[in-house]
Structure 1
Amino acid sequence: MKELPLTVRRSIELLGLVLIGALFVVASDIIMPVIMAFFISIMLLPVYRFLRKYKVPEIIAIIFPILLVVIFIGLIAWFFTAQVGNLVSDFPEIKKNMAQHLKSLSEWISSVSSYSPTEQMNFINKKSNDLLNMAGGMASGAAVTLSSLFVFVGLLPIYIYLMLFYKDILLRFIFMWFKTTDHPKVKDAIYETESIIKNYLVGLLIQITYMTILLGGLLMLFGIQHALLIGIIFAILNLIPYVGALIGNIIGVLLTITASTSLAPVVTVLAVIAAVQFLDNNILMPRIVGSKVKINALMAILGVVVGGSVAGVSGMFLAMPLIAVLKVIFDRTESFKQWGVLFGDERPAKSPMTFPGFRRKGPVELTSGTQKD
């Protein structure tokens, strides 16, 4: 069979990427719960295998790890709700502190500009009315999003159970896509994919735990109010690469400002977050995850942005494991290795433009017949 020209193959690849992207945009509400369930089911495989090793009935071996995940997520939700309740109880103090901050800000603006406090209040009232109108328009959308979240969470346990129950059928389906001679490569890719996803997700759960305890505990030692709430919010947002840490810092600063009239606690919060994040990025998380698949920062940020625009928060959380799985597949497929290189962070020792095959060995002939040195 004659091989297709390179340009045709590349065009088919790009067309396939466009079609896959369009499919995710159109059917993200269906696809994202399935992908999330797939990742969680792989994370639960060791527990399932351990129970089956000791002759536990298959149904119980599937349901038990799912219950463990539900309990863990329920504990996180309960802890977060309790901390938010403490924040709400301090609302009168928060209102008083915010009034003091706004007064100080108004005096500073008056000192550096010609806007009087009355003009500033008129401006604030006008913008407040605009925000209220915008909030009214977003209320119906929020109700739809909340209902979609309940459907998402409700479908997850069902998908996880069925994937663990029918895992052998899914594996057979994957192997039937390839020639028998390629089955060893497929097997290696499946094992590595399982290892990457398992290490990544388990590492994230461990990261949420120690980040909340470490960051919240240090902030409590420094006397910062709502320290545990700042800790758990930052720990959860930190799961989103690069973008989440920035948002977590902003929320931490806002919570600290509302709890105090002084700026010293804000500096303390930023310093503690920076120290904990440095420890997490350079010492703790690399040892916990231990993944050999490295994704460069450009692809990681693009993945988070694209995942967020296509599938919202769930897309942002799933962007990194999806890219890691794709890189494993691309690295083992001869016709897609260039995509694996694009996703990776292995920089070449020298620029490809300096390779002997790319060096200009003579003048370049122009279409007009003239030559240029």
Structure 2
Amino acid sequence: MNQLPLTVKRSIELLGLCLLGALLLVGKAVIMPLIMAFFISIILLPVYRFLKKSRLPDSIAILLAILLMMVSGLVIMGFFSIQIRALLADFPQIKKTLLMHLRELSEFLVQKTHYSIQQQLDFFHEQNAKLLNATGDLLRQVAGSLSSVFVLLGLMPIYVFLLLFYKNLLIRFVFLWFSTKHHDRVEEALRETELIIKSYLIGLLIQIAFIIILLGGTLQLLGIPHALLIGIILAFLNLIPYVGIVMGTLIGLFIILASSQEWLPIIELLVVVAVVHFLDQNILRPRVLGSKVKINALTSIIGVVIGGHMAGILGMFLSLPIIAILKVIFDRTDMFAQWGVLFGDDNPVHSPMHKLGLRIRKK
């Protein structure tokens, strides 16, 4: 490979990236659950190792770690379902409030535009018919997605068990790909990958707890309806870089509009979200994530968009840790070192057009 011309090397790199993207797109139904199981197995490694110190057999230690994960997931889902039931219990009041807001909007349009109430009703009925057709298509897609989710939930514990059980075999397979003179680099990359994934995912759990407690608790003290549900939604959507906070805020605004006839809670929500997001991004996130995952904003946004296109919400969640792992690998290879620079946040102060030293790859 070192004897090939530089243009040929770059062409091979780009061709490999295209083939990798095509492989992920075609095989996402199999690959994405495996990637998710890989991340979960990394999180469960400390629990597995702790249980192994108690001289438990491999199978028992892995099963206990998976059982702990499933119990934790059920507790989170139970808490979320309680909040959803509280929202559904207020459905008559929500319907009444929404009709009031629609009436106010209709009167505003009559005053500010030339559309009469009858024209608005005709437009509403026309859009409603389109919405019903779109909803039918959406429900069919959701039904297909739910079946995929149930299959995923059934396969996930199996994948995690097998990945932990055969971890030594998989590590040996990785080492056999490289010559012995590169084994030190490979070992370093494997250890740092494990450290980055654990630190990143544990940091995300800290972020979730921080936002639920601070945001949901503050909204609860202000008397905003369904404050904890809004806090939970924002906490989990915030895991999607840059896009999630906007989506969560819009959902929170809709819940407040549907539950309250006043405008003050909307202002309170926007102010609290802004303050909590500022604290999260400038104080909490740099301490729990910033030192481990140094990825620039451009790469993060592109990764989120590509991940969403390939695998939906799951792809958005997994985009950053996947990019972080790729950066660890690229930084330790001579062939792909420039990609590690592209993914990183080490933005030069001066332009390489004037600083010739910036054109040279640093070892």
Question: Is TM more than 0.5 here?
Answer: yes
Q: Which moved more, 1:240-249 or 1:270-279?
A: 270-279
Instruction: Evaluate the alpha carbon distance shift between residue 309 and residue 51 of structure 1 in structure 2; reply closer, same or farther with a 3 A threshold.
Output: same
Q: Which residue of 1 aligns with 2:174?
A: 174
Q: Which residue of 2 aligns with 1:141?
A: 141
Instruction: Evaluate the alpha carbon distance shift between residue 302 and residue 57 of structure 1 in structure 2; reply closer, same or farther with a 3 A threshold.
Output: same
Would you say 1:320 and 2:320 are equivalent positions? yes
Letter in 1 for 2:194: E
What SS does the aligned partner of 2:55 have? coil
For the residues of structure 1 that align with 2:307 and 2:278, how far apart are their CA atoms?
26
Q: Could you tell me how far 1:293 is from its partner in structure 2? A: 3.0
Per-residue CA deviation, residues 185-220 of structure 1 (Å, 9 max, x unaligned), is 111111110000001111212222232122111101
Per-residue CA deviation, residues 64-101 of structure 1 (Å, 9 max, x unaligned), is 12111111111111111111111111011111111111
Instruction: Evaluate the alpha carbon distance shift between residue 216 and residue 168 of structure 1 in structure 2; reply closer, same or farther with a 3 A threshold.
Output: same
Q: Would the aligned equivalents of 2:200 and 2:292 in 1 still touch at CA under 8 Å?
A: no
Letter in 1 for 2:165: F
What SS does the aligned partner of 2:335 have? helix
For the residues of structure 2 that align with 1:176 and 1:47, how far apart are their CA atoms?
28
Per-residue CA deviation, residues 131-172 of structure 1 (Å, 9 max, x unaligned), is 001111222221111100111111111111111110000000
Task: Give 5+ residue unaligned stretches, structure 2.
Answer: none
Q: Which residue of 2 aligns with 1:112?
A: 112
For the residues of structure 1 that align with 2:64 and 2:161, how far apart are their CA atoms?
10
For the residues of structure 1 that align with 2:182 and 2:334, how far apart are their CA atoms?
12
Instruction: Evaluate the alpha carbon distance shift between residue 115 and residue 17 of structure 1 in structure 2; reply closer, same or farther with a 3 A threshold.
Output: same
Would you say 1:278 and 2:278 are equivalent positions? yes
Alignment of 1:8-47 (within 5 A): 8-47=8-47
Q: Which residue of 2 aligns with 1:371?
A: none
Q: Which residue of 2 aligns with 1:70?
A: 70
Letter in 1 for 2:82: A
For the residues of structure 2 that align with 1:148 and 1:354, how far apart are their CA atoms?
54
Q: Would the aligned equivalents of 2:296 and 2:343 in 1 still touch at CA under 8 Å?
A: yes
What SS does the aligned partner of 2:347 have? coil
Alignment of 1:220-239 (within 5 A): 220-239=220-239
Q: Would the aligned equivalents of 1:51 and 1:61 in 2 still touch at CA under 8 Å?
A: yes
Runs of 4+ in 1 over 6 A off after TM superposition: none
Letter in 2 for 1:300: S
Q: Which residue of 2 aligns with 1:362?
A: none
Larger Rg: 1
Per-residue CA deviation, residues 31-87 of structure 1 (Å, 9 max, x unaligned), is 001000111111111111112123122212111121111111111111111111111
Letter in 2 for 1:295: I
What SS does the aligned partner of 1:354 have? coil
What SS does the aligned partner of 1:353 have? coil
Q: Could you tell me how far 1:288 is from its partner in structure 2? A: 2.6
Q: Would the aligned equivalents of 2:47 and 2:65 in 1 still touch at CA under 8 Å?
A: yes
Q: Could you tell me how far 1:273 is from its partner in structure 2? A: 1.0
Q: Could you tell me how far 1:260 is from its partner in structure 2? A: 0.9
Q: Could you tell me how far 1:357 is from its partner in structure 2? A: 8.2
For the residues of structure 2 that align with 1:51 and 1:169, how far apart are their CA atoms?
20
TM-score by length of 1: 0.93
Q: Which residue of 1 aligns with 2:56?
A: 56
Q: Which residue of 2 aligns with 1:336?
A: 336
Q: Which residue of 1 aligns with 2:253?
A: 253
Task: Give 5+ residue unaligned stretches, structure 1.
Answer: 360-373
Q: Would the aligned equivalents of 2:225 and 2:259 in 1 still touch at CA under 8 Å?
A: yes
TM-score by length of 2: 0.96
What percent of counterpart residues are identical? Answer: 56
Q: Would the aligned equivalents of 2:207 and 2:285 in 1 still touch at CA under 8 Å?
A: yes
Q: Which residue of 2 aligns with 1:194?
A: 194
Instruction: Evaluate the alpha carbon distance shift between residue 247 and residue 183 of structure 1 in structure 2; reply closer, same or farther with a 3 A threshold.
Output: same
Q: Could you tell me how far 1:274 is from its partner in structure 2? A: 1.1
Q: Which residue of 2 aligns with 1:348?
A: 348
Aligned length: 359
Q: Could you tell me how far 1:314 is from its partner in structure 2? A: 0.9
For the residues of structure 2 that align with 1:329 and 1:346, how far apart are their CA atoms?
17
For the residues of structure 1 that align with 2:3 and 2:154, how far apart are their CA atoms?
47
Q: Could you tell me how far 1:290 is from its partner in structure 2? A: 5.5
Q: Could you tell me how far 1:115 is from its partner in structure 2? A: 0.7
Instruction: Evaluate the alpha carbon distance shift between residue 355 and residue 291 of structure 1 in structure 2; reply closer, same or farther with a 3 A threshold.
Output: closer
Q: Could you tell me how far 1:358 is from its partner in structure 2? A: 10
Instruction: Evaluate the alpha carbon distance shift between residue 141 and residue 299 of structure 1 in structure 2; reply closer, same or farther with a 3 A threshold.
Output: same
Letter in 2 for 1:32: M
Alignment of 1:142-157 (within 5 A): 142-157=142-157
Instruction: Evaluate the alpha carbon distance shift between residue 13 and residue 302 of structure 1 in structure 2; reply closer, same or farther with a 3 A threshold.
Output: same
For the residues of structure 2 that align with 1:206 and 1:313, how far apart are their CA atoms?
20
Per-residue CA deviation, residues 91-139 of structure 1 (Å, 9 max, x unaligned), is 1111111111111111111111111111111111110110001111222
